[in-house]
Amino acid sequence: MVLDHLSTSWSVFQALFLEAMPFLLIGVALATMARHWLPSGPVLQCLPDHPLLGPLTGAAMGFALPACECGNVPVARQLLASGSPLPTAMGFLFAAPVLNPIVLASTWAAFPDQPWLLWARPAAGLAMALVLSTLLRLQQEVNILVPNLLRERGFHQPAGTGSLLERSAGLIGSSSPVPLPLLPTRRDQSWRLSVLHGVDELVKLSSLLILGCGVAAFLQTTLPRDWLLAVGQAPTLSVLALMLLAVVISVCSSVDAFLALGFASQVTPGALLAFLVLGPVIDVKALGLYGTVFCRSAMVFVALSCSVLVLLAGQWTNALML
Amino acid sequence: MLVHSWSSGRLQLLMAPTFHVLVIGAGFMLLAGSATALMVDQPRRSTPWRAVVLVICTSLLIVLAPPRGSFSMLARYRPPARLDGLAAGFALPPEQRDLVDWVRLLRGTPQPRLFHGEPLRVEGFVLVTATGERHLAQLLVRCCLADATPVRLPVQWPADAPPPEQDQWVRVEGEMELLDTPDGMQPVIIAREVTVIAKPRQPFRT
């Protein structure tokens, strides 16, 4: 029995990890290219810092990157490291997993008979990104970003010397003080060195992804999914249950609509929307990756804020549609 | 690890074919990136050793320990799969319908009794339910095993032979019967002959 449980968790882990790796690789590749070709980030630093225009610009940039949250985090981190304004980077980080062509197409393919989801999902995702960006903008960066990122951000230097997640970033790594990055040189900006940085970054992010996938796989085979769906028609409980399910399942946002299709008829419309909006932004698999951008208190703040916003959106949807 | 998962056929056990090309492409990209990184004549940066060890050990484990999970355990507490959008063999003779065709047919018709007594020949794995019944099941996967949901039918196994083991793949020949139960009309496969078969290369429907 225990062996069955372990081997099933191991299979789910492999499925999650192997499926997420390509998206992580896409994200790291884009971040590496941005680091190489936009060395001092002059373009990124010109992005709007406006509380409304910033997140909207970030969301529009996300539309061009059809990747799930695994791919978004390294790109958002590179945006911040290159000095891009916080609202733009946050808009990208939180809106892009929902607002991209593949996710919208899969939502349409899965729910052609529920057109309201086609606009409600991106609208709720965008609204959440706007509110979160505004809330985070009200705080000092030193209180929300990890020290290494702040250091890189302070220097606005790119293809130089340090890898993106240099030292003590996230959940893994040494917490000992590290020397400041050296000033970039022409030699440092060679494409080979950029690749080296990308590989280093990929190793660090992969280790965090492994931890996230491990926890998600364990929970998937431990928590009976039909218990969560048993509260399907209770307006509030169904929203909460589907939010928990979204966090646990950790499936890629480009296909979660097909998964939701499996229980759409058993749950309230608000719960369905909550699953489709929260899952792409907050899930067990991605929490480790967020640790490379946010400090722990900020991560808790982001997770709680997302949850409250999605709960409100779900409740509001239920009030309108039930 | 990614390329090995593809070349050893394991991807077919883990995820829908749509995603195979992504994994293969990522595998070759990683090989190219690693080769380039090895050629760089620069002192290595300080990658945290714990991250390196974790990634290496996990990659080795994935290569050495193939996925052998229990589909029955995975699917036991999951809601039944929705079958919208799947091609169904409505026009097929009863013996040529697979398990998914049968379930879709029975769910979709207002007159399931029309299929009472029809001969069938279906394949699947043995799913032991929470109440200990042994159903014949297949998994439906949209992305990867994480989203797998079961399609299943209860089976009345032949009385003259022990019922098959959990997760065993079997071919069942028999007929469809519909029983009146307090919960409504309940389809049941009456198994006349049960043959143990090998696990398919891709053991789920997409």
Indicate left, alpha or beta for A234 from its phi (over 0: left) and psi (-120 to 50: alpha): beta
A163 and chain B in contact, CB less than 8 A: yes
| One domain for residues B175 and B190 | yes
For residues A277-298, give the mean pLDDT. 89
| One domain for residues B46 and B146 | no
Using one digit for the tens of pLDDT, what is the confidence trace for B54-70?
Answer: 999 999 999 999 888 88
At residue B41, the pLDDT reads 60
Using one digit for the tens of pLDDT, what is the confidence trace for B112-131?
Answer: 788 888 899 999 999 998 88
A225 and chain B in contact, CB less than 8 A: yes
A177 and chain B in contact, CB less than 8 A: no
Q: State the residue range of the domain holding B38.
A: 2-64
At residue A173, the pLDDT reads 39
Per-window interface: A 37-96 vs B, CB < 8 A: none
Candidates A288, A287, A321, A280; CA nearest to A303 is A287
At residue A39, the pLDDT reads 55
Please indicate whether, in this complex, the C-beta atoms of A226 and B79 are within 8 angstroms of each other. yes
Residue of A nearest to B29 (CA): A25
| One domain for residues B88 and B42 | no
Please indicate whether, in this complex, the C-beta atoms of B146 and A199 are within 8 angstroms of each other. no
A192 and chain B in contact, CB less than 8 A: yes
Candidates B6, B53, B84, B202, partner chain A, best to mutate (most A CBs within 10 A): B84
For residues B181-199, give the mean pLDDT. 88
The share of chain A scoring above pLDDT 70, in percent, equals 84
Q: Could you state, in order of their start, the residue ranges of all structural domains in chain A?
A: 2-321
At residue B182, the pLDDT reads 78
Q: Which residues of B touch A9 (CB under 8 A)?
A: 69
For residue B82, the domain's CATH number is 2.40.50
| One domain for residues B50 and B101 | no
Strands B149-156 and B184-196: parallel
The share of chain A scoring above pLDDT 90, in percent, equals 25
At residue A106, the pLDDT reads 79
Using one digit for the tens of pLDDT, what is the confidence trace for A34-61?
Answer: 777 765 556 777 888 888 899 999 888 8
| One domain for residues B148 and B126 | yes
| One domain for residues B14 and B40 | yes
Residue A90: pLDDT over 90: yes
| One domain for residues B50 and B100 | no
At residue A273, the pLDDT reads 95
Q: What is the mean pLDDT of chain A?
A: 80
| One domain for residues B158 and B132 | yes
Out of A94-108, A119-133, B37-51, B105-119, pick the least confident.
B37-51
| One domain for residues B18 and B97 | no
At residue A285, the pLDDT reads 79
Residue of A nearest to B143 (CA): A255
Please indicate whether, in this complex, the C-beta atoms of B51 and A14 are within 8 angstroms of each other. no
| One domain for residues B15 and B98 | no
To the nearest whole Å, the CA of A53 is away from the closest chain B CA by: 34
DSSP state of A97: T
Q: In terms of pLDDT, which residue wins out, A65 or B169?
A: B169
A229 and chain B in contact, CB less than 8 A: yes
Using one digit for the tens of pLDDT, what is the confidence trace for B135-186?
Answer: 999 998 887 888 888 999 999 999 888 889 999 999 999 999 988 877 778 8
A261 phi, psi to nearest 5 deg:
-55, -35
Please indicate whether, in this complex, the C-beta atoms of A18 and B74 are within 8 angstroms of each other. no
CA angle in degrees (0–180, nearest 5) for A114-A115-A118: 110
Residue A126: pLDDT over 90: yes
Domain stops at, among B25, B49, B64 = B64
| One domain for residues B56 and B88 | no
Residue of A nearest to B39 (CA): A192
Residue B89: pLDDT over 60: no
pLDDT band at B42 (very low <50, low <70, confident <90, very high): low
CB B59 within 8 A of CB A2: no
| One domain for residues B110 and B184 | yes
Residue of A nearest to B166 (CA): A4
How many domains, chain B? 2
Residue of A nearest to B24 (CA): A22
